[in-house]
């Protein structure tokens, strides 16, 4: 009997993980912040995905060295290069850019990190993104996960913000259904 229990505890999590298709780090961060792992992964895919080719197979995967500056996405080959670009923006007193996997806006979320360099560390960036996602869910006007997705992107309550949030939510939900 104990062998069956041991086997179940040892292998069941990996069997379940294989079905979920959410990478382990995303799942751990989601659990830590008490957000739905598949929906969180879909949100991150929507924020920072890049097309990669491996063995002639094209895949969309989140890319950690991503910066969105004033609506233009920049994908860097390394953390150092992304950091240098972001640092150059800050030196010009421009903090209106999104960083990393969760595309955390530096102007509004820099207090979630110890430094700009930390904002490009994947685990720290995901943790900040998951915390922000959870905070949006806990707001009375965003108290359903689908609403929290829109609030993650557009926390404002103006009509224009609501429209943008709804369109954003549709894109994330479409990704979510494929996970």
For the chain, the domains span 21-176
pTM (predicted TM-score): 0.83
d(CA 116, CA 5): 46
d(CA 179, CA 164): 23
Q: What is the DSSP code (8-state) at residue 105?
A: E
Give residue-wise pLDDT tens across range 65-124: 999 999 999 999 999 999 999 999 999 999 999 999 999 999 999 999 999 999 999 999
Distance of CA 53 to the CA centre of its chain: 21
Which CATH code fits 21-176? 1.10.530
Q: Tokens at residue 166, please? A: 């709804």
Asked if residue 65 lies in contact with residue 52, where contact means CB atoms within 8 angstroms, the answer is no
């Amino acid at each position: 009997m104990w062998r069956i229990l041991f086997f179940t505890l040892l292998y069941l999590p990996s069997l379940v993980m294989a079905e979920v298709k959410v990478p382990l780090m995303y799942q751990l961060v989601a659990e830590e912040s008490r957000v739905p792992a598949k929906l969180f992964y879909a949100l991150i895919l929507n924020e920072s995905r890049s097309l990669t080719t491996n063995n002639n197979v094209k895949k969309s995967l989140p890319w950690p060295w991503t910066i969105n500056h004033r609506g233009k996405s920049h994908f860097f080959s390394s953390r150092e290069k992304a950091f240098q670009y972001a640092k150059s923006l800050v030196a010009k007193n421009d903090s209106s850019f999104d960083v990393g996997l969760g595309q955390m806006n530096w102007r509004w979320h820099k207090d979630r990190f110890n430094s700009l360099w930390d904002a490009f560390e994947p685990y720290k960036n995901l943790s900040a993104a998951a915390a922000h996602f959870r905070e949006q869910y806990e707001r009375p006007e965003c108290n359903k996960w689908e609403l929290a997705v829109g609030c993650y992107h557009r926390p404002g309550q103006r009509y224009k913000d609501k429209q943008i949030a709804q369109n954003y939510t549709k894109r994330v939900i479409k990704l979510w259904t494929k996970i």
